Amino acid sequence: MDCRVVVEAAVPVYDVETVDEAVRIAISKTGEMLNPDLKYVEINMGSRSSPGGEELPPAFIAADEALVALELEMTVFNVEQEEHASRIARKEIGQRLENIPLKVLSVERVDDDSVETDGEGDTRAETGASDDDDALVDFDDLVDDR
């Protein structure tokens, strides 16, 4: 099973005056830390709300320093459980974002509609098996019918 995992990150940014500036710098800073190893992670502006449900800006600014909420999305392949996918995503992202708190927001199963067959149920191209596998001979093919 494949899962799409969304992880929230609290990214500190220094010497900023506006929320927009803080968000731009946080996205850039996070992108630099993730690339080139995790260039497939999507970085989006996070959402925050007050305990009363009021929508808040994605950054909190005090004394020209900000804490920005970002959402990092990645797809984790070939896992057995959603919990396993969330652990993998936290580990992969957390290794590159040192000293940045992370929280898994959601884990969704990705449909396997992208896997196509050739009409005979063969999914070799999608599973990564090579054409050299055709050179393997089945033992039954070697036995003569005498």
Tell me the residue length of the chain.
Answer: 146
Higher pLDDT residue, 145 or 85?
85
Higher pLDDT residue, 137 or 54?
54
At residue 25's C-alpha, the angle toward residues 21 and 31, to 5°, is: 150
pTM for this model (two decimals): 0.73
- For the ranges 2-16, 57-71, 122-136, the lowest mean pLDDT is seen at 122-136
* Residue 105 banded pLDDT, cuts 50, 70, 90: very high
Element (H, E) at 93: helix 82-96
Q: What is the pLDDT of residues 29-48, one digit of tens each?
A: 999 999 988 989 999 999 88
Task: Output the pLDDT for position 113.
Answer: 58
Residue range 2-110, CATH number: 3.30.70
Residue 69, CA distances (Å) to 57, 78, 101, 130, 138 in order: 9, 29, 10, 43, 56
User: Taking the domains of the chain in order of start, what are their residue ranges?
Assistant: 2-110
Check pLDDT > 90 for residue 131: no
Check pLDDT > 60 for residue 20: yes
* Residue 143 banded pLDDT, cuts 50, 70, 90: very low
Distance CA 82, CA 65 (A): 36
Chain-wide mean pLDDT for the chain?
81
Check pLDDT > 60 for residue 118: no
| Closest by Cα among 72, 78, 44, 38 to 58 | 44
At residue 59's C-alpha, the angle toward residues 90 and 100, to 5°, is: 30
Q: What is the pLDDT of residues 90-99, one digit of tens each?
A: 999 999 998 9
